[in-house]
């Protein structure tokens, strides 16, 4: 390393720059994603500054006392391979302390993550394209706009995410451009999901449901908010065959993949309820 290298938490404007970098990497984050996750942990986004200029970024967002999620790990191309990124990586992980840390690792970096103590749990597959088929939605579901977190939502979310995240939900459900809906069956919450704009097209995620019919009821309503002819992306856990089948039934094709990895004991989550991951980059 050369020059004066400083590592510190990012300011809101710098977090927006990190999101722009992620878009340039081809990760296609949602337009409001970084701000929503920063609302959970304002000190969770870090940058490396060489002579006052940001050259690297990373996020390690802490949820409570037991879990953190890592993402947005980017070093400017001209500064890669010189130790700046690894120094930032180490400092940011100090922010997580003894928490279990999750990440979605791009293929080329998975071996590096293993050397830092992360172990593979499963793959996530990003499906994308312009939907070419509709969904045959089962009768009996009542689908409603979701504007604020409820006790039922948090209880279902707790089955697929290893820490309470009310602050995230409050920000996520009210974010500009986000469309969120919940499906009820016989008065009980059966599924929920969000469609949100990205730099390219829109993403659906999270999409969580107790059954495939419930997921399809939410998904069908979300797709009514998709502008005609626009691409949509759905990130599905590969072990969940029904989630993969739903994506393929829409005519979407695999366009990207990552590996969900954890440092520490992998949380015991009900992945068969996850039809769409919130975001590869941020958990």
Per-residue pLDDT tens digits for 75-129: 999 999 999 999 999 999 999 999 999 999 888 888 889 999 999 999 999 999 9
For residue 6, pLDDT over 80 is answered with: yes
For residue 202, pLDDT over 70 is answered with: yes
pLDDT band (50, 70, 90) for residue 283? low
Predicted local distance difference test score (pLDDT) of residue 108: 81
67: β partners: 63, 100
Predicted local distance difference test score (pLDDT) of residue 105: 87
Cα separation, 19 vs 94, whole angstroms: 22
Cα separation, 226 vs 249, whole angstroms: 17
For residue 282, pLDDT over 80 is answered with: no
pLDDT band (50, 70, 90) for residue 60? very high
For residue 26, pLDDT over 90 is answered with: no
Across the range 161-165, mean pLDDT stands at: 94
Name the one residue in this structure whose structure tokens are 């998709």: 226
Chain-centroid distance, C-alpha 27: 11
The two tokens of residue 117 are 């103590």
Are 77 and 67 contacting, i.e. CB atoms less than 8 angstroms apart?
A: no
For residues 281 and 29, which has the higher predicted lDDT (pLDDT)? 29
HEC secondary structure over 84-95 = HHHHHHHHHHHH
Across the range 244-264, mean pLDDT stands at: 95
pLDDT band (50, 70, 90) for residue 134? confident
Predicted local distance difference test score (pLDDT) of residue 1: 62
On average, the pLDDT of the chain sits at 94
Measured at the CA of 113, the angle between CA 43 and CA 83, to 5 degrees, comes to 70
Cα separation, 200 vs 31, whole angstroms: 10
Query: In the chain, pLDDT over 70 holds for what percent of residues?
Result: 99
Cα separation, 149 vs 158, whole angstroms: 13
> How many CA atoms does the CB half-sphere of 89 hold within 13 Å?
16
The two tokens of residue 79 are 């500064």
pLDDT digit string, tens, across residues 173-188: 999 999 999 999 999 9
């Amino acid at each position: 390393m050369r020059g004066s290298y400083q590592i510190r938490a990012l300011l809101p404007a710098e977090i927006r720059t990190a999101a722009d970098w992620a878009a340039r990497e081809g990760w296609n984050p949602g337009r409001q994603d970084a701000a929503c996750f920063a609302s959970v942990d304002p000190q969770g986004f870090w940058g490396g500054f060489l002579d006052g200029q940001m050259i690297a970024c990373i996020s390690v967002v802490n949820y409570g006392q037991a879990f953190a999620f890592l993402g947005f790990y980017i070093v400017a191309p001209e500064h890669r391979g010189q130790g700046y990124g690894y120094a930032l990586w180490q400092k940011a992980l100090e922010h997580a302390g003894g928490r279990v840390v999750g990440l979605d690792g791009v293929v080329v970096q998975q071996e590096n993550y293993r050397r830092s103590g992360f172990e593979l749990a499963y793959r996530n597959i990003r499906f994308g394209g312009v939907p070419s088929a509709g969904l045959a939605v089962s009768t009996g579901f009542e689908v409603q706009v979701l504007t604020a977190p409820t006790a039922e939502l948090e209880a279902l979310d707790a089955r697929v995410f290893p820490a309470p995240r009310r602050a995230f939900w409050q920000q996520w459900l009210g974010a500009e451009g986000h469309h969120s809906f919940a499906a009820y069956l016989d008065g009980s919450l059966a599924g929920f999901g969000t469609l949100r704009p990205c730099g390219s097209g829109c993403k659906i995620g999270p999409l969580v449901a107790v059954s495939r019919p419930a997921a399809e009821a939410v998904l069908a309503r979300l797709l009514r908010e998709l502008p005609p002819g626009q691409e949509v992306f759905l990130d599905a856990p590969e072990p969940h065959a029904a989630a993969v089948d739903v994506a393929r039934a829409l005519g979407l094709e695999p366009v990207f993949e990552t590996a969900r990895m954890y440092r520490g004991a992998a949380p015991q989550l009900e992945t068969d309820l996850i039809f769409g991951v919130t975001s590869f980059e941020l958990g």
